Structure 1
């Protein structure tokens, strides 16, 4: 029996709120006093600890979905991941500005996730961490995006810290995948069956524990504990880290290029299409059969125009409108030109740099060939980036030519319209050489010809403006591809069969838009990223066996799973905290499993403790467990519910596990039997709780989320709408409330007694279970949980 000193600190309530929508998931930030909440409308909320103030909310949008099933924070607290069931996607969201930074699809809906940081300190990894920034010596810093500077900075935050972190995703049909840095898939695990309910990866990357729900032969739900040996993945940790970091750089650069192209589309305004639209309208309304270019040429050569052309110029364009149109086109072209030079070209150079380094890794076959790196696939990705760079340079040439053409055309037309209005023409504009006249005539002949193909496809006759076609996200060929006649280099390539097929030359796609080439590049790189994903066979010694795993069947009914935790300080132990309501809701089970890759299935030792809770001196007042979480390595945070005699009052408490963690008793699990059939043999232990508890008045508390590092807890009611936030391990500001609580602690000290089954506690617990009904976990099946909550509310 262990007791607490009487001067233990109390819990201080710092916030309380009634929310309009039910909360399905909640998770504390690992670095800051922030908690993320996901409600039934698909909205993601971020609240601050102080007075539970809302920082921001992210409503559901088309690219995400409305049914959030799981949350996970990146270890540095800057990125929040959440999974969406209806769209089968995982979304990475920036915490600072509530912006979606990365979205990737999944084969199955994700039901649980875990994001952890690898703590391996090998010399190979340390040297890589120290030299990872070498790319900054060769590559200039990417400029921020105009009008989207904050978004650009958030995109760069996708890289995060150099130290490896792994996002583990579990879903239906035994679906388990690991993503390095939350973006690059490093493996898909096999050997798991059923729907994943909870999972936890050890920080040394040697073992993964999974709780799944399977169906028995008679279609009854059964809960199963599986421990996968991922030691083969840990053995290749330096190589996996290097490869994953490079691919994270590449994925981030793709996002950066996508945003750059979006900014270019914004710079290309609709006003650039006004000339095309007005010329088309002019052709449709004029009565003469003369072509438009002939009428403009007549105005250019003789200074005379038809009444229809004069009406177009003076009534639809106007002198002031023409001047404004010319300024708008020049401004838009200049903005696009700057974005191509500073953003597209810089991003493409960085992509080529990182892909070339990955190609160098693939050529080191001894180290990286087992990871699936394919030098040919990487070479294809490099070629695709080169083609994108060529298309960007082609766009620069088109912009440069269009700016010269439009400047000369608008200058001549402006003077012509001033003369029509009989207004004064500035002397500097009135001078026009024969060369200038020939230049404008060529421009009119090339751009002002009626094109029936355009009318059939787009409902327009003209395509005077040539830049916008490169920025349209369409699969059609360019309406007016660049004229390559007279290009000596292209002629030389066509005549040289050796150079024509040379892999050293990037292919160009003169008929395609910049958007089309970008999509093609993204598809090639995506295949290059997915191909090295490590399968369960790759890391085996002979490349032909699955991961070994230990498996235990808990029970044949629903299991209230509470929490996982890896304790690296105590010989790499993994702890699973759970409750089996069929046996007793007033008893907690603690499974302790060492990380031992040499263990074989059915030969493992399982350490279990069975906890019972009741008021000291009042054995008839049994408390049942509603929820429990690991506060830290040696403490549990639990939500308790009293019996009928105690009016089912709810209590938030801290339970010490120091003596339980060091328990030397062993329970030999019989592999041919479920765990619920062997509980009588489970060793037990007694604990006494002091004043480290607090009654939750006027609240039907049901769930709790904690962060032992930040010393905070959040309690959620059974109806999923009422929330209270507490600071733990601090003195309560309400002295009067603290005195009454201490008095209650002295009179009715909560006692946690670990006793073997069959000492009266079983019968009381079963009676309490019948009164309380089944409970669900806030991170488990929503439908089952809501049904149980409705039953609780009615009771």
Structure 2
């Protein structure tokens, strides 16, 4: 009986560029050449959902990473230089952020180190919930609403942060570009000094070092693969402080996004119909022959009930009684929607922002703890002031809306009656009563709003600005066309006359000439500087501890998908070691190399480089050797767990071209317990001193399986779920295997607990109607079978029945 059980096989319509198993569930994410992201389940390789490329994101996926809890997928886009966080359960885009460089690789890890300071911090983390009300959800009717804030029952920020324990998304790209994002959201470090293009990354779980595989152009022009270890000791030493700061700044950056989306909803609520009055009045001015002012003509109508033929034509032909009524209803509805958004969203978001920034400012005053991380109390004070100014401007907008609503109601009521009289129609008695106070109110409105402004015509193509709210929502740098009239404001008068209060830091500046958008942009830039400073300070503290050039790659292999290529990195949490597995096909094609480096650059741990000879005899455990004349070389290798390597081997019979393919498990216990430390010649690459590397021959036993009718090339594995996925050289043919089948009956309660998450997700997806998989061309399941597989089918049926 062959080792490993095949449970699924698929011919995919589009080549696969990235694949990654979920760390918690039997799910694998695939990205193909069309920019589509696919999620498949282990059982018969059934599709759960697909996320097509979007015009808002991009089409060229370059890297994939799962959040350690398996609830969120991160992927990078090469064409738009963005990173996207996607919810796994419903294929929703939760968050998108831009990058300066293209991302070529990513790694998402969770900190496992515990300390008493951290545990006390975890207990106090949710204090903000005691003081701040939950943010109101954004209206679903608006097109720009983000998924983060539209789910009524979800806690937006906590949904993105996941567990309280710190997790870090590491991104690498061209020109030595490396950035670290806490919770996948907030940038905590921008690293410099890494040479070449990043091919693979692994941040140690104790945060002491970051291992990077880079591709550097050597002096002779060939790409040179190098191993770099960066000392990230500051993150490790200040773990409780970094965690606290990162969570606070993630709250702040999410609140900024919330305010931005709230303002976008307000802009959508403000309709262009409100500008029609201005545009029609401008047209009236340009066409009329008389020299009288527009406000004079309206005042004449107000006082004497008479109008010029031009004004009558404007009112009866362009505006019409029906059009005036509709315009009045639109203005009232629009103003009401904006008013609600300001009160419930902008003000509550600003209060929450002030609360979190004040807490961060308090942290920054504890200089012994937080100054090394780059928290600047003066900059944070400036950020708090900027948020205060934004709140003031939002309050000013509320006053303008309130005044404009009253003005327009009175004006439209009077004009409606005047136009009914022109038409000689019946005027309802409730509208006919107009007091002297009402007439004075309309007269003031006409004299204030209906004066022509030549300067306004040059800027906007109109003479009038009757509607005062829209100017606050324009995303432009120009000053307000009609700033609020502050004449007679006792508070402003008191401030101007007080020498001490005029420049007081306790008072927020109000920027009376600026729009709400302008003040919001100013606030965002000030807060952004506060958010970026720690990333720069922490980034500068990271130093290169190790630089080891491994080998050169011939240019001919440039066509291979970079994401699948060796070397691959593995972070052994127990032994606190970085492992690198690689091949040197030009020097020794039949050997696999394993490099070990301690995660703590400041502590001497025995480092080693060993080679594993794969050239002959796959099976030496009592049975006849399989195809003894074949010479084996390694195509791909991934760490299955701390002591096992999953490899795809190619067996060539006297160097014939076709070869046969084998999936095998290599036990690394003897390689990892190698006691001899390799003496590295500092001025030479590893491939130039490969003769001195200790070589081991491993006995495979029955831990291998021939891959019939498949030109296998790459493999993705998950040792926790005991699964492997093999991909062919043409990137379209996939086979899925369960690796430890014989241990199935002995797994006991642990295995049942491990599958609980999966069952929960399956039930959710089935109830969402996502269990059915669209049929794909050439898709056919081969092999597999057995009781466990049938059980999975029965589970699926029962879930779909739900």
Post-superposition CA distance 1:56-114 (Å, at most 9, x none): 3242536x5554432222223343333344554444444434326231333x4332221
Q: Which has the higher contact order (CA 8 A, sep 6+)?
A: 2
Does the CA-based 8 Å contact 1:608-1:666 persist in structure 2?
A: no
Aligned equivalents of 1:149, 1:180: Cα separation in 2: 21
Residue 81 of structure 1, aligned match among 74, 96, 100: 74
Residue 523 of structure 2, aligned match among 509, 515, 521: 521
Does the CA-based 8 Å contact 2:74-2:84 persist in structure 1?
A: yes
Deviation at 1:431, TM superposition (A): 1.2
Aligned equivalents of 2:444, 2:196: Cα separation in 1: 71
Of 341-350 and 625-634, the range deviating more from structure 2:
625-634
Of 638-647 and 295-304, the range deviating more from structure 2:
638-647
Partner of 1:593: 597
Partner of 2:149: 152
Residue 429 of structure 1, aligned match among 423, 431, 443: 431
Of 672-681 and 201-210, the range deviating more from structure 2:
672-681
Q: What is the aligned residue count? A: 721
Aligned equivalents of 2:489, 2:225: Cα separation in 1: 71
TM-score by length of 2: 0.84
Partner of 1:753: none
Aligned equivalents of 2:741, 2:425: Cα separation in 1: 83
Residue 384 of structure 1, aligned match among 364, 367, 386: 386
Mapping 1:65-144, distance limit 5 Å: 65-95=58-88, 96-99=90-93, 101-106=95-100, 108-144=101-137
Partner of 1:581: 585
Deviation at 1:208, TM superposition (A): 1.4
- CA distance change for structure 1 residues 669 and 93 in 2, over 3 Å: closer, same or farther? same
Partner of 1:624: 633
Aligned equivalents of 1:145, 1:139: Cα separation in 2: 17
Post-superposition CA distance 1:666-693 (Å, at most 9, x none): 4333334322233333333343445554
Aligned equivalents of 2:722, 2:425: Cα separation in 1: 79
Does the CA-based 8 Å contact 2:638-2:715 persist in structure 1?
A: yes
Does the CA-based 8 Å contact 2:213-2:567 persist in structure 1?
A: no
Partner-residue secondary structure (3-state), 1:497: coil
Does the CA-based 8 Å contact 1:117-1:165 persist in structure 2?
A: yes
Partner-residue secondary structure (3-state), 1:623: strand
**Runs of 5+ unmatched residues, structure 2:** 558-564, 620-624, 745-779, 787-802
Aligned equivalents of 1:646, 1:530: Cα separation in 2: 54
- CA distance change for structure 1 residues 45 and 454 in 2, over 3 Å: closer, same or farther? farther
Aligned equivalents of 1:271, 1:498: Cα separation in 2: 46
Deviation at 1:293, TM superposition (A): 1.8
TM-score by length of 1: 0.84
- CA distance change for structure 1 residues 297 and 29 in 2, over 3 Å: closer, same or farther? farther
Post-superposition CA distance 1:338-397 (Å, at most 9, x none): 110111011111111111111111111111111111111111111111111111001100
Post-superposition CA distance 1:528-563 (Å, at most 9, x none): 111122546865xxxxxx635123221233595242
Partner of 2:757: none
Does the CA-based 8 Å contact 2:7-2:784 persist in structure 1?
A: no
Does the CA-based 8 Å contact 1:10-1:692 persist in structure 2?
A: no
Partner of 1:556: 552
Deviation at 1:462, TM superposition (A): 1.6
Aligned equivalents of 1:300, 1:31: Cα separation in 2: 75
Mapping 1:141-220, distance limit 5 Å: 141-147=134-140, 148=145, 150-153=147-150, 156=157, 157-220=159-222
Aligned equivalents of 2:539, 2:641: Cα separation in 1: 35
Partner-residue secondary structure (3-state), 1:500: coil
- CA distance change for structure 1 residues 422 and 354 in 2, over 3 Å: closer, same or farther? same
Partner of 1:253: 255
Partner-residue secondary structure (3-state), 2:612: strand
Partner-residue secondary structure (3-state), 1:198: strand
Partner of 1:486: 488
Partner of 1:472: 474
Aligned equivalents of 1:411, 1:316: Cα separation in 2: 18
Of 179-188 and 257-266, the range deviating more from structure 2:
179-188
- CA distance change for structure 1 residues 456 and 206 in 2, over 3 Å: closer, same or farther? same
Q: CA RMSD in A?
A: 2.9
- CA distance change for structure 1 residues 562 and 503 in 2, over 3 Å: closer, same or farther? same
Aligned equivalents of 1:710, 1:737: Cα separation in 2: 17
Partner of 2:299: 297
Mapping 1:763-778, distance limit 5 Å: none
Partner of 2:727: 716
Partner of 1:440: 442
Deviation at 1:146, TM superposition (A): 0.4
Residue 673 of structure 1, aligned match among 658, 663, 684: 684
The answer to whether structure 1 residue 638 and structure 2 residue 632 are counterparts is: no
Deviation at 1:720, TM superposition (A): 2.9
Aligned equivalents of 1:491, 1:734: Cα separation in 2: 81
Partner of 2:402: 400
- CA distance change for structure 1 residues 186 and 716 in 2, over 3 Å: closer, same or farther? same
Partner-residue secondary structure (3-state), 2:434: coil
Of 505-514 and 701-710, the range deviating more from structure 2:
701-710
Partner-residue secondary structure (3-state), 2:534: coil
- CA distance change for structure 1 residues 511 and 657 in 2, over 3 Å: closer, same or farther? same
Aligned equivalents of 1:281, 1:336: Cα separation in 2: 28
- CA distance change for structure 1 residues 32 and 328 in 2, over 3 Å: closer, same or farther? farther
Post-superposition CA distance 1:566-620 (Å, at most 9, x none): 1112x212211111111233321112223343357xx963142414054442331
- CA distance change for structure 1 residues 477 and 537 in 2, over 3 Å: closer, same or farther? closer
- CA distance change for structure 1 residues 426 and 79 in 2, over 3 Å: closer, same or farther? same
- CA distance change for structure 1 residues 384 and 48 in 2, over 3 Å: closer, same or farther? farther
Does the CA-based 8 Å contact 1:19-1:722 persist in structure 2?
A: no
- CA distance change for structure 1 residues 237 and 431 in 2, over 3 Å: closer, same or farther? same
